[in-house]
Amino acid sequence: MLIDSHAHLNDDRLYSIIDEVVEGYRARGVGAVINAAYDIESSRRGKILADKYEDCYFTVGLHPHDARLATAQIYEEMKALAAFPKAVAWGETGLDYHYDLSLREVQRREFVTQIEIADSLKLPVIIHLREAYEDMNRLLTENKQYLNNGVLLHCYSGSGESARDIYNRLDCYYSFGGAITFAKHKNEVLKYIPQDRIMLETDCPYMTPVPFRGKTNTPALLYLIRDKMAELLRLTPDEIEKITTDNAKRFYKRIK
């Protein structure tokens, strides 16, 4: 079975047609979907989906875009949701200096706050990182004591050298999505990452893989990312499926 390690069935576009989406990915061999949160409403929806579908799991957390919306009350509600057995990680949190939708200092402050909370709950952390590699390296190094339960860099777009020199040292996992099917993606990064640290994700409804660009993404298209990764690593699709599923189960300890 395939595991979609980072999806947003909690997004309106998919949530509004959820039965159809679930049926679609089950028919394509996806056996578990992690619905990553980005704010309080998506955290709540993740829990609702996990209650309804046995193969749905969820995370809680506040995206760097929305770091400016952080309040103690939001974090308290997220902590309460994280106590449910199908809550498998904290995130997505991180830094995004491409869009800068929250002030950078606010993004950094809320990222550190969230990794402290995740550590107190013994949950792994899902990191969203874009154009903020130096600050992320510094924050992870300075706060290493909060990273005892696993770190996943989702939709990793950093360099192979950064992976080798920094993130591998911090024992990070990496998930790859539709971007690896794009012609301009720098796929050599995969050579720097140990095979027991890679996972597959769709990040749906975003990042639709080739040849379905322009359409809404769903976990039913995860097989295209598996097949592309197999081609890039010169392995079979079955081998990639086994490797990435084993990795996802090791990282998200609560997945059955």
Interface with Zn ion by CB under 5 A: which residues? 92, 128, 203
Of 66 and 203, which CB lies nearer to Zn ion in the complex structure? 203
- For the beta sheet containing 30-35, the strands, ordered from the edge strand earlier in sequence to the opposite edge, are 2-7, 30-35, 56-60, 87-96, 125-130, 151-154, 173-176, 198-200
Contact 207, 178 (CB under 8 A): yes
Of 201 and 241, which CB lies nearer to Zn ion in the complex structure? 201
Of 4 and 203, which CB lies nearer to Zn ion in the complex structure? 203
Of 55 and 91, which CB lies nearer to Zn ion in the complex structure? 91
Q: Tell me how far, at minimum, the Cβ of 1 lies from Zn ion, in Å.
A: 21
Contact residues for 236 (Cβ-Cβ < 8 A; gap 6+):
230
Q: Tell me how far, at minimum, the Cβ of 239 lies from Zn ion, in Å.
A: 26
Q: Tell me how far, at minimum, the Cβ of 250 lies from Zn ion, in Å.
A: 21
Of 55 and 66, which CB lies nearer to Zn ion in the complex structure? 66
Quote the CA–CA distance of 56 and 38 in Å, as a whole number.
Answer: 16
Quote the CA–CA distance of 159 and 156 in Å, as a whole number.
Answer: 9
Q: Tell me how far, at minimum, the Cβ of 178 lies from Zn ion, in Å.
A: 12
Q: Tell me how far, at minimum, the Cβ of 92 lies from Zn ion, in Å.
A: 5
Of 55 and 203, which CB lies nearer to Zn ion in the complex structure? 203
Residue nearest to Zn ion (CB): 128
Q: Tell me how far, at minimum, the Cβ of 115 lies from Zn ion, in Å.
A: 16
